[in-house]
Structures are given as structure tokens and as C-alpha cells.
């Protein structure tokens, strides 16, 4: 969508949105290319055991059509929710495409979620069908009786844990399918995002969300795509960063995506992947970059053909940026956004200078302001809340089943990000801090509410409060302050037991890496946790 220009000013002057009345993500990212160039390579997937699978766009169309027919045969209709509980894998990609073609609403779910996290999201969304693997199927089986809307589970590993054999049933379906004609503003996707209180909120996005992402993706990769581009990210496709910053935009442009699930991110294996598959473009979260930086002399050990690297989730420092230039021979482009309104700020070193500590400028097509508490724009170089003017194609429709939270997300005509920033005289935006209590750990935005709810389920925990604390590798990690029931004693063994309790029920990135046992929690007169005081306690003792 972006014209190739020489300056940021030219780009802003020439850009205009082209959002049609009718639009379907599945048709755009798959069928379009299957018609034009059926043999064009869509996906290179490296399996856990090292096998290499390749899919063309024609094969992607056939598989997604069979999946759509299978879902329709199991009574999935327009607007029904389809859960996709899978890591990076071919099935993940074409399950999404199938859901979009049906006019259903895809619900991506992180494969490392525990049963409590899954139960909340599946119940809240009223998910009708889930496509998963044997690990996910086993988790769902333990909570299935509590999910009355869930009618069927498909397992890509076979008929296990009361789930149906996905591949066998898919293969029995026709390879042709007529996609639903969907409006650009029609719901297509629910991604659950963390909040500061209570349970996570489901950000409901329209079919147009992919078109809204494109300018930010294109500018962060220096006018993506270019001839020979091939893209990869270690970010899970259950999150908007992996799914809509990489997978879907690449397929929109007919660019080959490389996929591989790391059981645990391995810096050396990441470098090897870049070399083996001649990856030209990568979205690498800051934590991945920090881990890769620990490897000595990678530029002499591996041969790279990297053209662009983009990163987002937290601000990169000067040293990490310089390491990126030395290692890859490119300047890393930082970008900024959130699940509700993503890829709205970016650097683009092809047409503007990058400055350490600055996220970049507003991506063309998005109107950003820095607002004061009353919702009025502040002067340049003054602190305020980063906000985005509506309407905007990348902006979410609403929080699923949560009108109050939806209303609170907006002030006048602006979506409030909850993040504080400063815009300088040249239009660059500096991230100052969060205006809420979301924890940003290794690129994941974690809300304390869900963790606190989980902690309270442990028999030893009377009260619990969670904050984010600084961490060299991950930016922030979760710390829990816990008041125990009288019959329990604070000790390292109990702390570890509680950590494992949360890890198993939520996710590995959400468990409290630090626990402090306290006699009482600081509360307001209305009973709200004073997280600022908890941060002061932490600062005084660590």
C-alpha cells in the first residue's frame, strides 16, 4: 500500500487508505495468490524433528477449503467462534484462513496456556469448535464439562483425549469451497489482551484489521516486500505480533513465511535458521535480540542475507541497536502498537534516521496525539497519554461481551493506549511509561488480574497482588506479594510450589519469578491494591 518515496514527509502526503466495502482476509491471503500463481511458495515449515515441509498457495487453498468444509459440516456458521490452540504450524495458518472464509471468528490461543487461562477464554468467547494438538486436547478435556458452548474438538495428532482426528476428517472433505462474502467491518478475530484488573479482555477485530496493519509492516521493513524477501519470527502466531505483524501481511503480499516452533528460544538455532532458509526479513522481539547478543561473533559463524529486522514490545537501547548493525549489517527498525490498535508507530531507516530511545513516527494513515488527562493535545516535548484517533482500519471494534471496558478505552474521538509518551519537534515519539499496571515481559503484555485470580486458588494464599519489576533480559518480570493463610509458613519451598501452580494453570511467561510474603497488602479506602506502594517496597528491598 505504501508508495516508495525518499522522505517521511512525502510518504505522509501521498498515502491514502483503500478499504473496500467487502473484504475477506482468507481470500486475500490465499485464494488471490492461488489464482494468480498457484505454484508460488507460501510456507516453509521446519518440524520439531527437523523435517522440512513446503506449501504452495494452491496447496494452502486446498487445505483451507477442506478445513472450511469440515467446520461447516460440524455446523460452524457465520459469526461462530473457532478456537485455534496450536503453535507455529501449517495447520495454524490454514485454520485461520478457513475460519475467515466461513465468516466465522477465529480465536487464537497460546499453546502454553494452562487450563484456567483456556477455560476463561473459551467460556467468555463461547467458542464452538477448537482445533488443537494432543497437548491442547488433553487440557481441554479436563475442563470440557465446564464449556457448554464447545461442541467439538479436533486434534491434529489423531483421535485422542475425546477429540476427533483432524487430518483424517479434513482429507475426506472437498478441496473446493465458496467463501462467504464478508464486509470489511465484519468481525473476524478475537485476541485476548491483558488488563490491569479482572480477567483478560477479548479484542474483537474486523476483517479490515489486516489492511490496517499493512502500512506499519511495510514501513518497519523498509518498504516490504522487495524482490526475494522471505520472513520469519519466533513470536507465536497466537499473538497479534506473530499473526498480524508477520504471517498474514506476508501472505497478503505473496511472500514466503518460514515457521518453526522453538520449545524454548535458542539463540544459536535462530542464527542457523536465518542462514539455512535465507531469511531476509525478521521480526525479533527485544528479548530474542538480547539472547542472540550473548552469542560470540555470530557474523563470522553464520552467513546472513538479512535485509530488514523489526522489533517491538519495548524500547531498544543504543548498545543493542549498535550490536544489530554490527551483526546483521542493518539498522533495526523499532515499532509500537498494542493488540487493540497495532503497528501505529514505526522507524524506517530507509527514509528517516533512527534514534535510540525513540519508537519512531506515526505510521502514515494513523492520526496520533499525546493527550492530557482531559483529553486535550499537549504541546510538543510534553508528557501525555499516547492516543489514536478513530475511525482507523487497524482499530478494534470492541471488547467482546464487555461494553464498559470498551467505553473506558476511549476518550472523545481517541482510543487511549494507556501508555505515556512525548512527541518531539520532529514528530518522533519517546515511550515514557505505562499509565496502567500492565506488565511487559519479553514482548508479552501481562495483566496482573488473571495472575492474582490464579494465586488466590492456591490453598496457602489469602491475598495476592502482582506488579512488574525490572529484568535485564525480559524488560520486566512478574513479582507477587502474597499474604498467607495462618496455618502456612513462608519458605522457599512454598514459594516454588506457588510458582509452579501458576505456571501450570496460566502460562510459563505469566508465573511470578519473584515472590515476597507479606503480612498485609497496601489498600485504598475502597479496597483497591496500591501498586505504586508495592513498587516502592520492591525498590527499597532490591
* pLDDT, tens only, 139-149: 999 999 999 99
How high is the pLDDT of residue 4? 85
**Average pLDDT score over residue span 377-400:** 97
Cα separations in angstroms, 340 against 1, 191, 433, 530: 21, 9, 18, 26
Number of Cβ within 10 Å of residue 351's Cβ equals 17
Instruction: State the chain's mean pLDDT as an integer.
Output: 94
Q: Could you state, in order of their start, the residue ranges of all structural domains in the chain?
A: 24-182, 439-541
Please check the confidence at residue 291 and state whether its pLDDT lies above 90.
no
Which of 424-433, 489-498, 522-531 reaches the highest mean pLDDT? 489-498
How high is the pLDDT of residue 183? 98
* Grid cell listed for 324: 544489530
3-class DSSP assignment, residue 63: helix
With cut-offs at 50, 70 and 90, classify the pLDDT of residue 528: low
How high is the pLDDT of residue 384? 93
Q: 525 phi and psi, to 5 degrees?
A: -65, -20
Count Cβ atoms within 10 A of the Cβ of residue 185 and give its class: 0-12 exposed, 13-18 middle, 19 or more buried.
middle
Find out whether 282 and 232 touch, Cβ atoms under 8 Å: yes
- Identical fold for domains 24-182 and 439-541, yes or no, is no
Quote the CATH superfamily of domain 24-182: ANL, N-terminal domain (3.40.50.12780)
Count Cβ atoms within 10 A of the Cβ of residue 303 and give its class: 0-12 exposed, 13-18 middle, 19 or more buried.
exposed
**Average pLDDT score over residue span 5-10:** 94
**Average pLDDT score over residue span 393-406:** 97
Lowest mean pLDDT among 86-100, 196-210, 259-273, 502-516: 196-210
As a whole number of angstroms, the distance between CA 64 and CA 101 comes to 9
Give the pLDDT confidence of 107-160 residue by residue, as tens digits: 999 999 999 999 999 999 999 999 999 999 999 999 999 999 999 999 999 999
**Average pLDDT score over residue span 48-56:** 96
* Grid cell listed for 465: 497482588
- Alpha helices by DSSP H, listed for 172-279, are 209-220, 240-242, 248-252, 267-276
How high is the pLDDT of residue 399? 98
Find out whether 432 and 422 touch, Cβ atoms under 8 Å: yes
Residues whose CB falls within 8 Å of the CB of residue 443, separated by 6 or more in sequence, listed in order = 235, 241, 285, 286, 287, 312, 313, 314
In the chain, % helix, strand, coil (3-state, to 5) comes to 30, 25, 40
Q: Which residues share a beta bridge with 237?
A: none
How far is residue 305 CA from its own chain's centroid? Answer: 26
With cut-offs at 50, 70 and 90, classify the pLDDT of residue 17: very high
Please check the confidence at residue 527 and state whether its pLDDT lies above 90.
no
With cut-offs at 50, 70 and 90, classify the pLDDT of residue 526: very low
With cut-offs at 50, 70 and 90, classify the pLDDT of residue 198: low
Query: What fold does the segment set 439-541 form as a domain?
Result: GMP Synthetase; Chain A, domain 3 (3.30.300)
How high is the pLDDT of residue 463? 85
Give the pLDDT confidence of 168-191 residue by residue, as tens digits: 999 999 999 999 999 999 999 999
How far is residue 489 CA from its own chain's centroid? Answer: 39
As a whole number of angstroms, the distance between CA 343 and CA 363 comes to 8
pTM for this prediction: 0.89
**Which of the pair, 456 or 170, is modelled with greater confidence?**
170
Q: 535 phi and psi, to 5 degrees?
A: -65, -35
Amino acid at each position: 500500500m505504501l508508495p516508495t518515496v525518499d522522505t517521511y514527509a512525502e510518504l505522509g502526503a501521498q498515502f491514502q487508505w483503500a478499504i473496500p466495502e467487502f473484504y475477506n482476509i482468507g481470500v486475500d491471503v490465499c485464494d488471490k495468490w492461488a489464482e494468480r500463481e498457484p505454484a508460488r511458495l507460501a510456507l516453509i515449515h521446519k518440524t520439531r524433528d527437523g523435517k522440512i515441509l513446503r506449501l504452495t498457495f494452491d496447496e494452502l487453498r486446498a487445505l483451507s477449503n477442506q478445513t472450511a468444509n469440515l467446520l461447516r459440516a460440524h455446523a460452524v456458521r457465520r459469526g461462530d467462534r473457532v478456537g485455534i490452540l496450536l503453535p507455529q504450524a501449517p495447520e495454524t495458518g490454514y485454520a485461520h484462513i478457513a475460519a475467515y472464509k466461513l465468516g466465522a471468528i477465529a480465536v487464537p490461543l497460546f499453546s502454553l496456556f494452562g487450563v484456567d487461562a483456556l477455560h476463561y477464554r473459551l467460556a467468555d468467547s463461547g467458542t464452538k469448535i477448537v482445533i488443537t494438538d494432543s497437548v491442547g486436547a488433553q487440557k481441554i478435556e479436563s475442563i470440557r464439562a465446564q464449556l457448554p458452548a464447545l461442541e467439538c474438538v479436533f486434534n491434529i495428532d489423531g483421535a485422542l483425549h475425546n477429540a476427533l482426528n483432524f487430518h483424517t476428517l479434513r482429507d475426506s472433505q472437498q478441496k473446493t469451497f465458496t467463501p462467504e462474502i464478508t464486509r470489511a467491518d465484519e468481525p473476524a478475530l478475537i485476541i485476548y489482551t491483558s488488563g490491569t484488573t479482572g480477567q483478560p479482555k477479548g479484542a474483537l477485530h474486523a476483517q479490515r484489521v489486516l489492511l490496517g496493519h499493512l502500512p506499519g509492516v511495510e514501513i518497519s521493513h523498509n518498504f516490504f516486500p522487495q524482490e526475494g524477501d522471505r520472513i520469519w519470527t519466533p513470536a507465536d502466531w497466537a499473538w497479534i505480533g506473530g499473526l498480524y505483524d508477520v504471517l498474514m501481511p506476508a501472505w497478503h503480499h505473496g511472500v514466503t513465511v518460514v515457521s518453526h516452533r522453538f520449545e524454548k528460544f535458542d539463540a544459536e538455532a535462530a542464527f542457523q535458521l536465518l542462514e539455512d532458509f535465507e531469511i531476509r526479513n525478521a521480526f525479533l522481539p527485544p528479548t530474542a535480540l538480547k539472547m542472540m547478543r550473548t552469542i560470540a561473533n555470530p557474523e563470522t559463524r553464520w552467513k546472513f542475507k538479512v535485509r530488514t529486522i523489526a522489533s517491538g514490545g519495548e524500547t531498544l537501547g543504543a548498545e543493542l541497536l549498535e550490536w544489530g548493525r554490527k551483526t546483521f549489517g542493518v539498522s533495526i527498525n523499532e515499532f509500537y502498537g498494542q493488540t487493540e490498535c497495532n503497528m501505529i508507530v514505526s522507524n524506517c531507516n530507509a527514509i528517516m534516521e533512527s534514534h535510540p530511545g525513540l519508537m519512531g513516527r506515526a505510521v502514515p494513515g494513523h492520526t496520533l496525539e499525546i493527550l492530557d488527562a482531559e483529553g486535550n493535545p499537549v504541546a510538543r516535548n510534553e508528557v501525555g497519554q499516547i492516543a489514536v484517533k478513530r475511525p482507523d482500519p487497524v482499530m478494534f471494534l470492541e471488547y467482546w461481551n464487555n461494553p464498559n471496558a470498551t467505553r473506558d478505552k476511549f476518550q472523545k474521538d481517541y482510543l487511549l493506549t494507556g501508555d505515556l509518551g512525548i512527541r518531539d519537534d520532529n514528530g518522533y515519539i519517546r515511550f515514557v511509561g505505562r499509565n496502567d499496571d500492565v506488565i511487559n515481559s519479553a514482548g508479552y503484555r501481562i495483566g496482573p488480574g488473571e495472575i492474582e485470580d490464579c494465586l488466590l486458588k492456591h490453598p496457602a494464599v489469602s491475598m495476592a497482588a502482582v506488579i512488574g519489576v525490572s529484568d535485564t533480559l525480559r524488560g520486566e518480570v512478574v513479582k507477587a506479594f502474597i499474604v498467607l493463610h495462618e496455618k502456612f509458613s513462608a519458605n522457599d519451598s512454598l514459594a516454588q510450589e506457588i510458582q509452579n501452580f501458576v505456571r501450570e494453570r496460566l502460562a510459563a511467561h505469566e508465573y511470578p519469578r519473584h515472590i515476597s510474603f507479606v503480612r498485609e497488602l497496601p489498600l485504598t479506602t475502597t479496597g483497591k491494591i496500591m501498586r505504586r506502594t508495592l513498587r516502592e517496597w520492591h525498590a527499597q528491598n532490591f
